[in-house]
Every structure is written in structure tokens, then in C-alpha cells.
Amino acid sequence: MNQVLSYVLLMPLILWSIFQPALFLNASQVDETINLAIYETQKKASLQGKYDSALYKEMKDYLVNIHHYKADQIKIKGTETVTTRGEKIYIEFEIPQPPLTVIDVFKIDNSKPYKIKRTVRSEYTGTT
């Protein structure tokens, strides 16, 4: 009885120690992928002076291919009017948050998304 009780009491700690490193690694890889996708899109948008549907599609396709997100769960909004050199253009990005702890794996409602807002200066000069 003593062994069973100690096993039952230690089981949550054992499960946490087994799965937590993998979940942390997954979350950090998702974060790095999102940062990379936003950075690459910011470079292109900076040269164009705005964000457009082609850039949004490229970013969504990248995240769908890498992390198998559903495209309709990714929400992207940015400056869609042409902005001249030196002015700020922004992008707001919302994506489902990956599980960060073992408890999150068993939750049904994982509606808390990552929300990221970034700005960059436009490099668009108006000439092609």
C-alpha cells in the first residue's frame, strides 16, 4: 500500500518532468518560426511600402507548412496603404498558442492566442 500511494503521489511530477522539456522546445520553436516569418515579411513590406494579400498568404503558407496550423486560425492585419520612406508600417499577428505545460495538453479550450504587433520603417521611395 505504501508503494502504491507513493507512486500515485509522484505520478504528476514524473509526467511533468518527462513532457515539459519537449513542450518547452516546441513552444520556443513556434516562437522562433513566428519571429522569422514576421521578419521576412517586414523586409518585403518595407520595400513595397505596405502589406498586401500576397505577403499575408506567403506568411500563412509558411506557418501552415512548418507547424501545420489551420490557415483560418491565423489572423494577420497590417498597413495596407502605401507608406513613403521613413514612416512606420505595422503588422498585427494572431496565432493559436501551442501547449506550454502538461496541463495545457489536456485542456479542451485553448483559445488564448499569441498576439504580436510589430512596426518597421518604410523604405518605399515611390519609384519602381
Domain boundaries, position 22: 2-121
Residue 77 lies in a domain: yes
What values do phi and psi take at 111, rounded to 5? Answer: -90, 0
Residue 33 lies in a domain: yes
Residue 76 lies in a domain: yes
Residue 126 lies in a domain: no
Residue 117 lies in a domain: yes
Residue 26 lies in a domain: yes
Strand partners, 96: 113
pTM, full prediction: 0.79
Residue 96 lies in a domain: yes
Judged by DSSP in three states, 64 sits in helix
Total domains present in the chain: 1
The 10s digit of each residue's pLDDT in 75-100 is 999 999 999 999 999 999 899 888 88
The 10s digit of each residue's pLDDT in 110-126 is 668 889 999 999 999 87
CA distance 5 to 53: 58
Residue 128 lies in a domain: no
